[in-house]
């Protein structure tokens, strides 16, 4: 998936510099100087206005002004409130619900578990084992369930990995006349591939995980999460999406008939 995303980004004219840590940006008259981790300099020349997004930036818990220390509530190194499996702090009468992942469905689940535990007499632990996650690149990269490496470690039987790669319909139905009108740099996305993989339990024929790179991948993975949570069999996993449906169908067909469809 990393290789597919890298090819798609490079097809849009983006130069990638893997393995480089950014430590400082200095604005000069000629451009922007970028200081990387091994103290050497790289001069970035660009005649156009340049916008730089630094990846791996993160948010930190905004608990500094809550004065939680006065109540004896323990925090971790980042300032987040420490809780147990039931969202309870080290003070038995104080709970910190939705204190974890910044995802609305996860917050709803944690709130439901809290209500069942405290008011319903049914101790319930939030289960975040199979949560979909996305990298909002262009095109987006998303996954849900187990990766190939995780499946090999956790599965009780052999695993099978099926993959399908297609051209998105919107990149193929446009007329060839556009090639004479639109600059080539704007047509690079027409060469982008959409790829989807299924990680399957070979013995039970259950879907364990599904990564995808392509348009609307983040939305599709939210519904694919249902197949993973319900342990759907491959033959029953055929969601009714119009966008990128051919990718999902092809991936399922490969799983059902691996010798009749080449990937």
Judged against a pLDDT cut of 80, whether residue 91 lies above it is answered with: yes
Please give the helix or strand (H or E) that residue 160 lies within, else none.
strand 159-166
pLDDT given for residue 135 in this prediction: 81
186 vs 191: CA distance, rounded Å: 11
Looking at the predicted structure, is the pLDDT value of residue 12 above 50? yes
* pLDDT interval class at 137 (50, 70, 90): confident
Question: Which of these, 14, 263, 262, lies nearest to 137 by C-alpha position?
Answer: 14
Specify the pLDDT at position 25. 72
Q: What is the mean pLDDT of the chain?
A: 73
Pair type for strands 41-44 and 32-36: antiparallel
What is the distance of C-alpha 17 from the center of its chain? 21
52-56, 131-135, 179-183, 206-210, range with the lowest pLDDT:
179-183
Rounded mean pLDDT, 27-43 = 63
Q: Which residue, among 5, 14, 2, has the nearest Cα to 194 in the 3D structure?
A: 5
How far out from the chain centre does Cα 1 lie?
A: 11
Q: How confident is the model at residue 258 (pLDDT cuts 50, 70, 90)?
A: very low
Residue 149 binned pLDDT confidence (cut-offs 50, 70, 90):
confident
DSSP state letter for 93: T
Q: Give the pLDDT band (50/70/90) at residue 47.
A: very low
Q: Could you give all domains of the chain from N- to C-terminal order, each with its CATH number?
A: 21-56 (no CATH), 68-118 (no CATH), 133-256 (3.30.390.30)
pLDDT: which is higher, 201 or 99? 201
The 8 Å CB, 24+ separation contacts for 130-135 are 130/225, 130/228, 130/229, 131/101, 131/103, 131/106, 131/225, 132/218, 132/221, 132/222, 132/224, 132/225, 134/217, 134/218, 134/221, 135/5
Q: Is the pLDDT of residue 113 over 60?
A: yes
How many angstroms separate the Cα of 90 from the Cα of each of 37, 93, 96, 130, 246?
40, 9, 10, 27, 51
pLDDT of residue 81: 92
Least confident of 76-80, 109-113, 219-223: 219-223
If one compares 173 and 175, the residue with the highest pLDDT of the two is 173
């Amino acid at each position: 998936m990393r290789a597919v995303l890298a090819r798609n980004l490079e097809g849009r004219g983006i130069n990638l510099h893997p393995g480089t840590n950014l430590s400082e940006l200095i604005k000069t008259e000629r451009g922007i100087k970028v200081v990387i981790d091994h103290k050497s300099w790289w001069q970035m020349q660009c005649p156009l206005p340049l916008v730089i997004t630094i990846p791996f930036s993160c948010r930190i818990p905004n608990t500094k002004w809550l004065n939680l220390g006065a109540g004896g509530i323990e925090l971790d190194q980042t300032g987040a409130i420490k809780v147990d499996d039931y969202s309870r702090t080290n003070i038995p009468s104080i709970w910190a619900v939705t204190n974890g992942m910044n995802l609305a469905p996860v917050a709803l689940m944690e709130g439901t578990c809290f209500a069942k535990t405290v008011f319903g007499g049914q101790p319930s632990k939030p289960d975040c084992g199979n949560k979909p996650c996305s990298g909002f690149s262009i095109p987006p990269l998303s996954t849900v369930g187990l990766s190939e490496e995780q499946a090999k470690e956790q599965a009780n039987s052999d695993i099978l990995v099926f993959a399908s790669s297609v051209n998105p319909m919107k990149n193929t139905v446009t007329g060839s006349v556009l090639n004479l009108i639109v600059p080539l740099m704007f047509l690079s996305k027409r060469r982008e591939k959409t790829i989807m993989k299924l990680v399957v339990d070979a013995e039970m024929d259950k879907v364990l995980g599904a990564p995808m790179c392509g348009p609307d991948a983040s939305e599709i993975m939210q519904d694919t999460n249902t197949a993973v949570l319900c342990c759907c069999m491959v033959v029953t996993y055929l969601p009714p999406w119009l966008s990128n449906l051919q990718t999902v169908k092809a991936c399922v067909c490969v799983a059902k008939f691996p010798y009749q469809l080449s990937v």
